Amino acid sequence: MNKNIFLLLLICPCLLDAQIIRGKLFFQRPYASAEQRMIKRAPSATYIASGTKVVLIPLDRMAPATVAAARSSNVFQCYNLNNFPQAVSTITNSDGYYYFRSMPAGNYVLRVCGSSAQYAVQVTNNDRPYKLMPDLAVSSN
């Protein structure tokens, strides 16, 4: 059995450098009225963002113009990922969790489709077995 494990690690060393990135996504409702915004009486309500597309864009070894586009403050449109051929996407589950499996160490930008929200993600070899992201709340439109 030890021979099989050794052979597996010898054949596929990529297993040693891969992490799982996990996080939870919420949508945040804005205040109902201008008066509530001014006095901040009612807190913004959050709800689980299930079925939402989340994209992870690797920044390492990308051209500066492409990195600038990935970090743009514009609303991110997920229907056109041709500019980011190495981007990985996933859909949040019913509890709002997203998972990116087998991600190598590096720098990434996490984008939420239909939102201008963006989050810098740095994955290191110490993030095993999970890189846990903080709960993310993005404004709903």
Q: Model confidence over 67-122: pLDDT tens digits?
A: 887 777 677 777 667 778 888 999 999 999 999 998 888 999 998 888 888 888 99
**Which positions ≥6 away from 64 have C-beta within 8 Å?**
none
Q: Calculate ∠ Cα 83-85-91, nearest 5°.
A: 100
CA terminus-to-terminus distance, the chain: 55
pLDDT for residue 9 is more than 60: no
CA atoms within 13 A on the CB side of 80: 6
Domain residue extents for the chain = 17-139
CATH of range 17-139; options 3.40.50.300, 3.40.50.620, 3.40.50.740, 2.60.40.10: 2.60.40.10
Cα–Cα distance list, 97 to 24, 50, 52, 78, 136 (Å) = 4, 8, 10, 18, 10
pLDDT tens figures, 38-61: 555 545 577 888 898 999 988 887
Predicted pLDDT at 47: 82
Q: Which residue in the block uniquely carries the two structure tokens 């919420």?
A: 26
